[in-house]
Amino acid sequence: MTQAMLEDLVEGLRVPTDLFVGGRWVAAEDGGRFAVVDPATGEEIAHVANGTVEDARRCVDAADAAAAGWAATSPRRRSEILRRAFELMTERGEQIAELMVRENGKALPDARGEVAYAAEFFRWYAEEAVRVSGDLRTAPSGANRIVVLRQPIGISLLITPWNFPAAMATRKIGPALAAGCTVILKPASETPLTALALAEVLADAGVPDGVVNVLPSRRSGAVAQAVLADPRVRKLSFTGSTEVGRTLLQLAADQVVSCSMELGGNAPLVVLEDADLDVAVDGAMVAKMRNGGEACTAANRMYVHRSVATEFTERLARRMADVTTGPGLSGAALGPLVNADAVQKVHELVEDAAARGARVLVGGRPGDGQGFFYPATVLADVPTGARILQEEIFGPVAPVVTFDDDDEAVRLANDTEYGLVAYVFTRDLARGLRLAEALDCGMVGLNRGVVSDPAAPFGGTKQSGIGREGGHEGLLEYTESKYVAVDW
């Protein structure tokens, strides 16, 4: 895409590049800016205000000034504003999708899918905003009543990753606003433009000044620390790597801030010998290749019963060989990875597996032109000790391992510090449900390669996180229960 087209795109969407604080677009307090790079070309496409610690404090002040008013706004009004945000985001969907391709690299169909998915969080939580209910019980002694109120938890710091720049933001903003909380969103530095476009959507939808503040910053540690040190901030919702999640949990401990953590994954995909292989291969393609493999939910390890392993792997390899790679707006099915480090990491994992005896059936070498490209890759006979089976790949690589019975499949699948999601393919639903119960993770896709749904509780066990996003559960994360003991 030419620079002129980029300007059209940015102007067409009027994508701001400043901080959004208290309903105003402002430069960083020290005037600093940082570059956003197009992963398809390696070229700089925008310069965004680089929030400082002082800007972070201003965001907390703005969120605090708006907090009481927003909490007192009727649920119906909050619902209508969120519904309007859904409509506006849908209307601007094509521009937001193209913007996301430019800063993240993902292929346009993935970006369009993400916009639709992201907007659904506004619609779902518009519907949930009017359904926050408390509880009334009788004390076991019969002496009094127990009244339970659900109140907004308070100012919330939302930190999002670059891989789903729209959906990870709306999955947090939607329930926070529905519950009556004001927020500070700190987007990933690779993809701040989508977050700024969302700030415009929300402002245009009627969100009052200060309810949503957006703080792009390359000083992520310092600004997060400043926000979390402020006792007015009561919630941290983070989506990102387990490593950064651990650091933030420690920071949040000082003020005893409530934490929701959506962290890394290492999803197993299990194909039993009675699986419908058409369904299993389709499911594996989606579970692996959605968002180019740059998803916490991406199938990271494919465990296939020995009796169907050859056929499954050959079919998968044929499908992966057909995946076209190119710039996200070119019509290719697979865009570039987010940056050069990501390409190097993915390739290291492939080389390590190959050095230990894995066979590279398709792909396996980074692109040699401009941009951060890595092709769809299939590895067969991956040995147990390979790093690729333990670490998040975050790229379009499918390692295949064989197993002999269900117990072995469960043991291999659970042999990880992560517990986000698993996929199981079988024609026997009872057997599939037994496996689903035995797998140590927060979500299971049974005969399907996608679990993400705004109406469902998304989240993980073990080092994949704490808490749930989406569904009614996602709303409760932004509320505090208050119990009133009443005599009447």
Residues that bind ligand NAP (CB under 6 A): 159-164, 168, 186-189, 218, 220-221, 224, 239-241, 244, 247-248, 262-265, 296, 392, 420, 460, 465
The crossing angle, in degrees rounded to 10, of helices 53-72 and 220-228 is 50
The span from the CA of 374 to the CA of 60, in Å, is 41
What is the residue whose two structure tokens read 């019963």? 305
Residue positions counted in the chain = 488
Minimum CB–partner distance for residue 160 and ligand NAP (Å): 6
Compare residues 250 and 307 and give the one whose CB is closer to ligand NAP. Answer: 250
Residue 88 or 248: which CB sits closer to ligand NAP?
248
In the complex, the smallest distance separating the C-beta of residue 394 from ligand NAP, rounded to whole angstroms, is 6
Q: Tell me how far apart the alpha carbons of residues 192 and 186 are, in angstroms, rounded to a whole number.
A: 8
CA distances from 376 to 60, 186, 274, 293 (A): 44, 32, 27, 9
Yes or no: say if 292 and 395 are a contact pair by the CB < 8 Å rule. yes
Q: Are strands 377-380 and 212-214 parallel, antiparallel or unpaired?
A: unpaired
Residue 196 DSSP SS3: helix
Q: Given the complex with ligand NAP, which of 336 and 432 has the nearer CB atom?
A: 336
**Buried/exposed 451-478: b ≥16 CB within 10 Å, e otherwise:** bbebebbbbbebbbbbbbbbbeebbbbb
Q: Is 469 a catalytic residue?
A: no
Give the shortest CB-101-to-ligand NAP separation in angstroms: 17
Active-site option among 262, 294, 392, 477: 262
Specify whether 296 is catalytic.
Answer: yes
Between 122 and 403, name the residue whose CB sits nearer to ligand NAP. Answer: 122
Give the shortest CB-392-to-ligand NAP separation in angstroms. Answer: 5
Name the residue nearer to ligand NAP (CB basis): 199 or 296.
Answer: 296
Cβ partners under 8 Å of residue 136, min gap 6: 145, 146, 147, 148
CB 4, min distance to ligand NAP, A: 29
Q: List the catalytic residue out of 59, 181, 259, 296.
A: 296
C-alpha 94/C-alpha 77 separation (Å) is 28
- Tell me which residue has its CB nearest to ligand NAP: 240
Instruction: Provide the annotated active-site residues.
Output: 262, 296
